[in-house]
Structure 1
């Protein structure tokens, strides 16, 4: 005997009751499919921050997350297409060396949202860009470096001289000059995003020339500083726990504001081509200066006071760190 049809209001009440009784089911239905493609290992500084933000969203139950690491540039387009055809609604990654291929894939999948690290502009309708606009804490870490060097010589080791790296180095240098106008810099690029041994050798060469503070834009630099008992300033992540007597301070990147904004936009059907770079600035909590930790009592009090005052001015909009994307040069004679 068939059951009588329930009135519509009873069906709605039943659905609501099921949602309350089984929230996990409702959440599973709402999960966004997100994929990420990285050309370097998950632990590499820059990528680790994106991966961390996406893993946090996954832990909250907001997304279903898949990721590929160490993808060769030649394979990047293929992996992007596989993720797009696999039904992923948001694809995240870095397009610096594969701009043309990545933008081509975005054109071929107009209903998929793309958020990629890029030096280029957004591409309508679905290709948004981001990068680590953390020049503000980089300036503050430079102020600390200027106050800690005794030789007046700072060594700087970077990956590639692209805008995303150049602007942080320039900001760091400007900060160092504020607290120590006579400071000199040696700048080297190792032309790799992940080659710790090469970065370490470049750092050793700088120490041999008198540098007693190193700007560790790449992994490997802090290892050299630790071995030679000089100081280092970190970038993107805080490695002081691994180098408690070496890493004084770090400019940290927090990718969560960018990732969370993108996820919200995709879920609302409002994702569009735009620049997510500003989400990395301090006012959006996208970057910060790491706590001094083990160096809290070692950094001169007057330097700490100046850094805190400058940080307050940045957050209040009273001071703007200049964005200089040109390649930085050594100033040592």
Structure 2
């Protein structure tokens, strides 16, 4: 079932304008009248409270509240319905369509070719292709923050036995897990990892049961790539590291740190490009990097003062180097395995 919602119909007299992305020969004719906000539609295969979709949704809502865009969205859209919903929004004249085409890569591109005057900014496992000049791609490249959260996890784990529960072993998940594991090994080279994928983007009960099994097998720290993992950690009295969003308020004695994704810089870049009339096939994943403001560590909150100072010093050192471009966290898209 697909549900449709509309948010942020406010307008302001003058929209942002900037040079945006560099113009090239493959410019598409997406241009905006100065007094009108850009019309944006989001298409999500999961509820908007889910981590990944939720960050896109929050950024769009914020942009609508600023008067930069008008925003409508569809959630719980099945992959089989996805191309149809894309066409519906394009037919309505929506200027920018946001979403996730991981499960419908080829079908989505067929839609893109049929609507050359519509800008599409989609989460994808593939790089931009000039053949689809109005399709820009992105992903949550928050490996920088995941690496830093791993340093904290390694310092807080007493046994060095760490459980990791993911949705699917696709590049978008794999790279964050590998970065986290690399961070752990900075302070606990001997750490061992239990890695499992539940085959779903939103199945908290299954994620919880998988986490329970890892705790039974000795894990005292869990990497909560999916909802449900922190519930298991809380019930069993072990610690967890969050992903994409900050859930410490819900698990104040459990979630030590979280690697956060901010979709705001990505959306801002797209808005600027459309305003400048030069939206094109480009890799917007770069705006998720920490040095671009797209990734960060959540505040320590209830764990302030509980994390070893040498670990915090290492986090601060590595974060400064990342932001200065002096240190790069490796992007490893291969499937991680248990130790």
State TM-score, norm by structure 1.
Answer: 0.91
Structure 1 residue 121, shift from structure 2 partner: 1.8
1:230 and 1:184 map into 2 onto residues whose CA distance is 16
Q: Deviations over 1:9-53 (max 9, x none)?
A: xxxxxxxxxxxxxx8566794111111100000000000000011
Residue 36 (structure 1) aligns with: 42
Closer, same or farther: CA 210–84 of 1 in aligned 2, 3 Å: same
1:24 and 1:109 map into 2 onto residues whose CA distance is 28
Residue 12 (structure 1) aligns with: none
2:123 and 2:14 map into 1 onto residues whose CA distance is 32
1:283 and 1:305 map into 2 onto residues whose CA distance is 19
Residue 105 (structure 2) aligns with: 99
Q: Confirm or deny that 1:49 pairs with 2:55.
A: yes
Structure 1 residue 315, shift from structure 2 partner: 1.2
Residue 8 (structure 1) aligns with: none
Q: Confirm or deny that 1:81 pairs with 2:83.
A: no
Residue 231 (structure 1) aligns with: 239
1:284 and 1:145 map into 2 onto residues whose CA distance is 24
- Say if 2:40 and 2:69, in contact at 8 Å, map to a contact too: yes
Closer, same or farther: CA 24–309 of 1 in aligned 2, 3 Å: closer
Closer, same or farther: CA 24–184 of 1 in aligned 2, 3 Å: closer
Q: Confirm or deny that 1:279 pairs with 2:287.
A: yes
Q: Deviations over 1:292-314 (max 9, x none)?
A: 11111111111111111111111
Q: Confirm or deny that 1:63 pairs with 2:69.
A: yes
What secondary structure sits across from 1:294 in the alignment?
helix
Structure 1 residue 264, shift from structure 2 partner: 1.3
Structure 1 residue 318, shift from structure 2 partner: 1.8
Q: Deviations over 1:71-130 (max 9, x none)?
A: 011110110000000000100000000111111110000111000000012133100100
- Say if 2:12 and 2:37, in contact at 8 Å, map to a contact too: no
Residue 185 (structure 1) aligns with: 193
- Say if 2:122 and 2:136, in contact at 8 Å, map to a contact too: yes
The alignment's C-alpha RMSD in Å is: 1.2
State TM-score, norm by structure 2.
Answer: 0.89
Q: 1:298 aligns with which of 306, 329, 335?
A: 306
2:194 and 2:163 map into 1 onto residues whose CA distance is 5
Structure 1 residue 154, shift from structure 2 partner: 0.2
Unaligned runs of 5+ in 1: 1-22
Q: Deviations over 1:130-178 (max 9, x none)?
A: 0000000100000011101111100000000000100000000000000
Closer, same or farther: CA 175–270 of 1 in aligned 2, 3 Å: same
